[in-house]
Every structure is written in C-alpha cells, then in structure tokens.
Amino acid sequence: MPMHARVTQFQIRPGKLEEFAAALDSMIPLMHQQKGFKSLIVLRGDALPGANPQATVITTWDSLDSLRASEENLYFYRAMARVLACSDGFPAIHEHEVLVSEHSPAA
C-alpha cells in the first residue's frame, strides 16, 4: 500500500517565523500518537524581498485512510489553529501519493 502525503503551504506573518516553527515543533508528540503517521518535514521558502516568509509543511502517512482520519482528530485542529495564528490567510492544502521515499535508519 503506497504512502500518502499532506502538503500545506503557508504565508507567515512578519516576525512570526519562530513562533510558527515552535507551534509545529510542540505538536510532534501528538502527531506520533496518530495512527499511520510516518514523518513531518517543514521547509522554509525564501520569499521575494519585502514579502512574508513562506513555509511548506509535509506530513507522510501509511495510507490515504490514515491521512484523512488525522483530519478528523482534535490534534489536527489544535495544530492548525496555532499555526494559523502566525499565518496570513488560510493555507493551500493538497494530498499526494508518495511515489518514491527513502529514509536512513535511525542510528
């Protein structure tokens, strides 16, 4: 069964990048409690001069069912509320099937 990913793109309000990252970091223990959760990656995009920073949040799940079930969980809405407080507007959210993935085993 292929893994699936949720890709969420945020526009960060000025001066809120560290708070945004801290909000996501604080949610990691809750993410690990979600059935099917595999990984979290947060990427910072360089904005144009004078523009707000951008961030892309990628979560991977063992199945599309697990990804969608996570959206019905209170953790998802708590996490979204905390990061939205640091964001301009509502983020673009997309679901993708993971075609290729490789992670180094834990040392």
The per-residue pLDDT for 48 is 72
Q: In whole numbers, what is the pLDDT of the chain averaged over residues? A: 89
Q: What distance in Å separates the CA atoms of residue 63 and residue 69, rounded to the nearest whole number?
A: 10
The per-residue pLDDT for 84 is 92
Beta bridge partners of 12: 87
The per-residue pLDDT for 67 is 94
pLDDT score of 86 more than 90: yes
The CA dihedral of 58, 75, 11, 56, to the nearest 10 degrees, is -10
Average confidence (pLDDT) over 22-36: 89
**Residue located via tokens 């920073």:** 53
pLDDT score of 93 more than 90: yes
